[in-house]
């Protein structure tokens, strides 16, 4: 049984990916400092899979602590690196925090990968590396433009670090540029659980729908799009998770043509913010209280993916529709409310 190290494994995408890895027969080790995640996510992983995950609550920005995990587990076959700060708006307000955390952690991890001879590395990148593209859908060859936020800049720089490192490294690498992960596991035992006010659209929608937030803000309705709101490529988190397992299997089977390959992960369909709200209302039977506000710094106008490379080379399949995304996100939100109600009583 091959052992995979997942960083940020208690987070939204990381925890769903751990489930997929366990269900595909891998042993998983998790590193997460839980500064923006909940260790309880791994309890849900255990309930879903029946398997325990060894968790190290350490900060990847601490090189010695990171090395200690590799020292203890000399049989790590691959690393999937999620751990990073990821709120676009916050990155605009606190750019140094984002550069320090997202880049130092990556460099420390790559140093350990190099020192301990780990052969396979999958990086959680983002469509933010494309900036405001001139043409959509974007392919992996779409030119990288100036990032619209410090968060996007950290992903661009991280990709460059990995690509430069890969030229002379023994390890093989994949960069997964995913678009907008949403939804929750069908069990409703695990999903996106923001700490504080949600920065992403769908948690803002579901928290408003259930009454946790009095209303939500739509940032701008004067963009040059079909209804004036931003357009994104929303992709179910379980589809994203399966792509990480497939990427790892692709590397383990020596199918990669280069030392560092890039794949887009999106549905290929652009959905506007207002269309996402309408879909949620139809699925949930709830009318959302929302307000149109000014544009938000760091937001791009419109982006969605050309996903043919991931489908053809990784054998990736998209199993969830936008309705499924909203339905599972809503089921998760109701489960969270139920747990909070029980805890209060």
Read off the pLDDT of residues 196-255 as tens digits, 9 standing for 90 and up.
Answer: 889 899 999 999 999 999 999 999 999 999 999 999 999 999 999 999 999 999 999 999
pLDDT digit string, tens, across residues 92-119 = 999 999 999 999 999 999 999 999 999 9
Question: Backbone dihedral region of 82: left (phi > 0), alpha (psi from -120 to 50 degrees) or beta?
Answer: alpha
Contact 14, 6 (CB under 8 A): yes
At residue 195, the pLDDT reads 79
Residue 143 DSSP label: P
Inform me whether the pLDDT recorded for 345 exceeds 80.
no
Name the catalytic one among 26, 56, 85, 151: 151
Distances in Å between the Cα of 86 and the Cα atoms of 154, 276, 278, 340 are: 10, 21, 26, 26
In this predicted model, what pLDDT tens digit does every residue of 312-337 receive, in sequence order? Answer: 999 999 999 999 999 999 999 999 99
177-187 tens-digit pLDDT: 999 999 999 99
| pLDDT computed for residue 87 by the predictor | 87
Same fold, 3-184+234-265 and 201-231+269-344: no
Q: Please say whether the structural domain 3-184+234-265 has been given the CATH code 3.40.50.720.
A: yes
Residues 2-32 have pLDDT tens digits of: 999 999 999 999 999 999 999 999 999 999 9
The residue among 166 and 339 whose pLDDT is bigger is 166
Residues 259-291: tens digit of each pLDDT = 999 999 999 999 999 999 999 999 999 999 999
For residues 292-301, average pLDDT: 91
What is the pLDDT, as a whole number, of residue 197?
A: 86
Is residue 342 very low, low, confident or very high in pLDDT (cuts 50, 70, 90)? Answer: confident
Specify the pLDDT at position 206.
97
Strand partners, 174: 122, 261
Stated as kind and residue range, the H or E segment containing 172 is: strand 172-178
Assigned CATH for 201-231+269-344 = 3.90.25.10
Q: Residue 129: CB partners within 8 Å, gap ≥ 6?
A: 144, 147, 152, 155, 156, 159, 177
- Which helix (H) or strand (E) covers residue 341, if one does? helix 322-344
Q: Mind listing the pLDDT tens digit for each residue in 39-49?
A: 999 999 999 99
151 noted as active-site residue: yes
pTM value surpassing 0.85: yes
d(Cα 267, Cα 318) in Å, to the nearest integer? 7
Percent residues over pLDDT 90 in the chain: 90
Question: What is the C-alpha to C-alpha distance for residues 88 and 299, in angstroms, rounded to an integer?
Answer: 8
DSSP β-ladder status, 290-293 and 231-232: unpaired
- The residues, ordered by sequence, that sit 6+ positions from 165 with a Cβ below 8 Å of its Cβ are 110, 114, 173
Does the pLDDT value for residue 344 go beyond 80?
no
Closest CA to 112 of 65, 161, 50: 65
Find all residues with CB under 8 Å of 265, minimum gap 6, and list them.
Answer: 176, 177, 178, 179, 235, 239, 240, 243, 305, 307, 310, 316
pLDDT at 194 over 90: no
Can you give the residue ranges of every domain in the chain? 3-184+234-265, 201-231+269-344
Per DSSP, the three-state class of 31 is: strand
Give yes or no for residue 122 having a pLDDT over 90: yes
pLDDT for the residue 157:
98
Residue 123 phi, psi (nearest 5): -110, 135
């Amino acid at each position: 049984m091959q052992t995979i190290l997942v960083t940020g494994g208690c987070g939204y995408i990381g925890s769903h990916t751990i489930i997929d890895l366990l269900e595909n027969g891998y042993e998983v080790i998790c590193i997460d400092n839980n500064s923006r995640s909940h260790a309880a996510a791994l309890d849900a992983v255990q309930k879903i899979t029946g398997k325990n995950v060894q968790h190290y609550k350490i900060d990847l920005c601490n090189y010695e602590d990171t090395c200690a995990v590799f020292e203890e587990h000399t049989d790590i076959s691959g690393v999937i690196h999620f751990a990073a700060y990821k709120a676009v708006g916050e990155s605009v307000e606190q750019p140094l925090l984002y550069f320090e955390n997202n880049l130092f952690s990556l460099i420390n991890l790559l140093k350990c990968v190099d020192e301990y001879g780990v052969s396979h590395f999958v990086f959680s990148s983002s469509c933010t590396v494309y900036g405001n593209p001139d043409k959509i859908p974007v392919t992996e060859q779409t030119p990288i433009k100036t990032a619209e936020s410090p968060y996007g800049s950290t992903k661009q720089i991280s990709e460059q670090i990995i690509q430069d490192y890969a030229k002379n490294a023994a390890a093989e690498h994949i960069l997964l540029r995913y678009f907008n992960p949403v939804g929750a596991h069908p069990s409703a035992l695990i999903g996106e659980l923001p700490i504080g006010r949600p920065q992403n659209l769908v948690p803002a929608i579901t928290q408003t729908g259930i009454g946790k937030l009095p209303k939500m803000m739509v940032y701008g309705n004067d963009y040059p799009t079909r209804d004036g709101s931003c357009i994104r490529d929303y992709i179910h988190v379980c589809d994203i998770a399966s792509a990480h397992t497939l990427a790892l299997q692709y590397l383990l089977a020596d199918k990669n043509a280069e030392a560092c390959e890039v794949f887009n992960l999106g549905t290929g369909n652009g959905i506007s913010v207002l269309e996402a709200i309408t879909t949620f209302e139809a699925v949930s039977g709830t009318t959302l209280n929302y307000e149109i506000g000014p544009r938000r710094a760091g937001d791009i106008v419109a982006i969605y993916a050309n996903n043919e490379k991931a489908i053809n080379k990784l054998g990736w399949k998209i199993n969830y529709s936008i309705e499924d995304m909203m339905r599972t996100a809503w089921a998760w939100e109701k489960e969270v409310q139920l747990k909070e109600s029980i805890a209060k009583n």
